[in-house]
């Protein structure tokens, strides 16, 4: 039985949204996986009593402390050894969980996961990837925040792991990999992108060359590679655009009957667009390169987002993403070890 641990105390709306999302995921599991909630047992049980839906049998692992969103990651992990993040990552490291999900403090979750589980053999640095909607299809961009200072070998490995993830999870055969830069020419960019281009060019990836910022939403590449500093800015900027469009639509609609009628007519198209750009539909972002499966949820995750994050963890485990990464890197002579 696949066991997925969920941080019940992580996120802006925890534990309610996490408990509800875990219930929804369990109801959809059909016995294929088991959800285990990790956190304050009394608070979790109280949430069960207040939720008006059929409550399936969900195991609870008690954790007496909580790492808050604004707590410094490393310091908090030292002081709060019985926090939900510390407990859930230790369980992953011991093999008690096959995968874990948390919408809590991202820095603490990443650091604790790496410390408890370690890296897949051959991985220099783990990376965070995120779905990026576009005109044609969904792309996958990485890194989006785990590594701000990178070397060319790091970016190449991000491309390898991203290519495996996309080919497996999105069923894209031989996905196109693009290196994010300020121009299409191989000579354009900073030292990192210029040197990385040379590595990608010699790799067996389906490398299409440099892509520019304007190509991201066009879906020119299935996998977009950049360092975490740039990737995190892109991710946050994209989220802000979505929120801005939603607010603008509310203002435009106002109380005008004609405008409301027009919105009603295009509602199906708007719903489809909302689905593509709504992070809740994707659940969370994967931390690739660590042993075990770890999904990082958005701090504002709703119950729907938590449910989808759990489902994504299950799919990654079922598809053996980590095994495929290890196999690929073991035969990849182009990737040099960090000195």
**Position 276 confidence tier, pLDDT thresholds 50, 70, 90:** low
pLDDT at 337: 44
pLDDT at 336: 46
Do residues 25 and 118 touch, judged by C-beta distance below 8 A? no
CATH superfamily placement of domain 1-123+289-320: Isopropylmalate Dehydrogenase (3.40.718.10)
Do residues 199 and 156 touch, judged by C-beta distance below 8 A? yes
Gap between the terminal Cα atoms of the chain: 40
Angstrom distance (rounded) from CA 152 to CA 196: 4
Do residues 140 and 223 touch, judged by C-beta distance below 8 A? yes
Work out the average pLDDT over 165-175: 94
pLDDT at 283: 75
124-280: CATH class: alpha beta
Cis amide linkage into residue 28, ω under 30° from 0: no
Work out the average pLDDT over 66-90: 95
Minimum mean pLDDT range among 30-34, 116-120, 123-127, 261-265: 261-265
pLDDT at 201: 93
pTM comes to 0.87
**Which part of the chain has CATH 3.40.718.10?**
1-123+289-320, 124-280
Minimum mean pLDDT range among 112-126, 131-145, 301-315: 131-145
**Position 248 confidence tier, pLDDT thresholds 50, 70, 90:** confident
């Amino acid at each position: 039985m696949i066991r997925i641990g969920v941080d019940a105390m992580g996120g802006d709306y925890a534990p309610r949204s996490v408990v509800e999302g875990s219930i929804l995921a369990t109801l959809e599991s059909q016995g294929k996986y088991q959800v285990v909630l990790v956190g304050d047992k009394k608070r979790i049980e109280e949430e069960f009593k207040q939720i008006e839906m059929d409550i399936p049998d969900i195991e609870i692992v008690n954790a007496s402390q909580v790492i808050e969103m604004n707590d410094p990651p490393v310091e908090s992990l030292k002081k709060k050894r019985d926090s939900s993040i510390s407990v859930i990552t230790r369980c992953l490291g011991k093999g008690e969980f096959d995968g874990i999900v948390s919408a809590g403090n991202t820095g603490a979750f990443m650091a604790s996961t790496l410390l408890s589980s370690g890296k897949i053999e051959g991985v220099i640095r783990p990376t965070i990837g995120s779905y990026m909607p576009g005109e044609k299809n969904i792309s996958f961009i990485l890194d989006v925040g785990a590594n701000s200072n990178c070397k060319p070998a790091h970016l190449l490995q991000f491309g390898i792991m991203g290519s495996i993830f996309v080919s497996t999870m999105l069923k894209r055969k031989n996905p196109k990999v693009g290196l994010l830069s300020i121009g299409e020419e191989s000579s354009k960019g900073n030292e990192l992108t210029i040197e990385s281009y040379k590595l990608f060019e010699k790799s067996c990836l389906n490398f299409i060359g440099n892509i520019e910022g304007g190509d991201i939403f066009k879906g020119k590449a299935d996998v977009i590679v950049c360092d975490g500093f740039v990737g995190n800015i892109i991710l946050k900027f994209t989220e802000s655009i979505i929120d801005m469009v939603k607010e603008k639509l509310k203002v435009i609609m106002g109380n005008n009957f004609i405008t409301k009628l027009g919105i009603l007519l295009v509602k199906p198209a708007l719903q489809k667009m909302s689905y593509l750009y709504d992070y809740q539909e994707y659940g969370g972002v994967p931390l690739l390169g660590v042993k075990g499966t770890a999904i990082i949820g958005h701090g504002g995750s709703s119950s729907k987002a938590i449910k989808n994050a759990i489902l994504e963890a299950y799919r990654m485990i079922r598809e053996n993403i980590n095994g495929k990464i290890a196999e690929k890197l073991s035969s990849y002579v182009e990737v040099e070890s960090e000195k």
